[in-house]
Amino acid sequence: MTRIVAVLVRGRMAEAAPPGVDPRQFLEAVAEDTYEMVAGLEFVTPVLITAVPGLDDIVWPGTEIVTIHEDEPLRAVLGRLSGDQVAVINADAPDLPSLLVGKLFRELGRAEITICPAADGGAVALACSLPLPAWADPDLDHPDVVAVLRTQAPGPRRVATISAWHRLRTLDDVERLDPGLEGWDNTRALIAGR
């Protein structure tokens, strides 16, 4: 079974940059931290999906990079991937524990789509088998993506959730980063140096 874990980078993810931090550098730091977590996982293939040019330097050699438009729907993006199962993780979750990625895939044993909700609405990540079920049109930025997907689903229990995490979409979100957690080294260094 081929499992892909794709890090999704959109330009608007730079909006949480703290004062004194260059938004582009912030975006690169959070994207690289999220990618590094993914690339360190066993039994998965990392992929970078990006609407931001010039991020080749943050990925390991040989990593597939899929270029998209800023507002390209996730359904269309998933249609460009090949493999058996995929987890798409928003790049603005640089401190996401790898354990949650494993839980996304595990829940696919009982559901067609698994969501890691964002603590303040939307979703941190989504996992599904490929191709994406025909009934699903996910938007990870929709405030209640789980409810929308459950409405789209033809029956109960098609959409599972795991524990929620947080995304860095506003300056207040940056305050949620826990210095005690491992990882997110690039984001940590950038914020500490401002």
Q: What is the CATH number of the domain that holds 172?
A: 3.90.550.10
Tell me which residue range forms the domain holding 125.
3-186
What percentage of the chain exceeds 90 in pLDDT? 93
Mean per-residue pLDDT for 33-42?
A: 97
Q: Are 1 and 61 in contact (CB under 8 A)?
A: no
Sheet holding 85-90, edge to edge: 64-67, 45-50, 3-9, 85-90, 123-129, 113-117, 159-161
Name the β-bridge partners of 88. 6, 126
Residue 152 forms part of a structural domain? yes
Asked, for residue 143, whether it belongs to a domain, the answer is: yes
d(Cα 158, Cα 88) in Å, to the nearest integer? 18
Quote the number of domains for the chain: 1
Percent of residues, the chain, with pLDDT higher than 70:
99
The mean predicted confidence, pLDDT, of the chain is 96
Q: Would 144 be classed as within a structural domain?
A: yes
Cβ-contact 15, 26 below 8 angstroms: no
What whole-number distance in Å separates Cα of residue 11 and Cα of residue 33? 16
Structure confidence at residue 194 (pLDDT): 59
Give tens-digit pLDDT for 105-160.
999 999 999 999 999 999 999 999 999 999 999 999 999 999 999 999 998 799 99
Tell me the two tokens of residue 149.
């997907």
Specify the pTM.
Answer: 0.97
Question: What is the model's pLDDT at position 113?
Answer: 98
pLDDT of the residue at 182: 87
Question: Is 194 domain-assigned?
Answer: no
76-91: per-residue pLDDT in tens?
999 999 999 999 999 9
Residue 193 lies in a domain: no
pLDDT over 90 at 162, yes or no: yes
Residue 192 within any structural domain of the chain: no
Question: 96 in a domain, yes or no?
Answer: yes
What pLDDT, on a 0 to 100 scale, did the predictor assign at position 68?
98
pLDDT at 193 over 80: no
Q: What is the pLDDT of residues 92-102, one digit of tens each?
A: 999 999 999 99
- Determine, yes or no, domain membership for 191: no
Q: What is the mean pLDDT of residues 33-58?
A: 97
